[in-house]
Amino acid sequence: GLGFNIVGGTDQQYISNDNSIYVSRIKKDGAAYLDGRLQEGDKILSVNGKDLKDLRHKDAVELFRNAGYDVSLKIQRRLQPQNGPVGHRGDGESGGLPLAAILVPGLALAAAAVWILLRYRQRM
């Protein structure tokens, strides 16, 4: 195989009102993993020049199975890594806060709390 799984299609939409085919998983040590260019969340637009637009999931799977040894994929890179469905806002802006914006202040508060607790225990 090509070393990755796909989701989507007209009958199994991965994103509401979007019939596109997406890479759901890259198999470790598979062909796609070893090549290194394909990423989870990428939208696959065509396989060997054949457009994947408005295909049923099983028809897209069949195209990949019959792709042969040399496979050419046209993809659209996701905007940013995400968990769950890939969202496209259309304005180039990502939604939400970056994880570091939440974790860094949280870790700083936790470190300060531990320091205060230790200082308090030393005085007792």
Q: How is domain 4-76 classified at the CATH fold level?
A: Pdz3 Domain (2.30.42)
Tens of pLDDT, residue by residue, the chain (124 residues): 799 999 999 999 999 999 999 999 999 989 999 999 999 999 999 999 999 999 999 999 999 999 988 899 999 997 655 555 554 444 444 445 566 666 666 667 777 777 777 777 776 6
- What is the DSSP-derived secondary structure letter of residue 121? H
Strands 73-76 vs 21-26: parallel, antiparallel or unpaired? unpaired
Q: How many helices (H) and strands (E) does the chain have?
A: 3, 5
Q: E strands within the chain?
A: 4-8, 21-26, 43-47, 50-51, 73-76
Chain-centre distance of CA 88, in angstroms? 12
User: pTM of whole model > 0.85?
Assistant: no
**Both structure tokens of 72:** 């050419």
List the chain domain ranges.
4-76
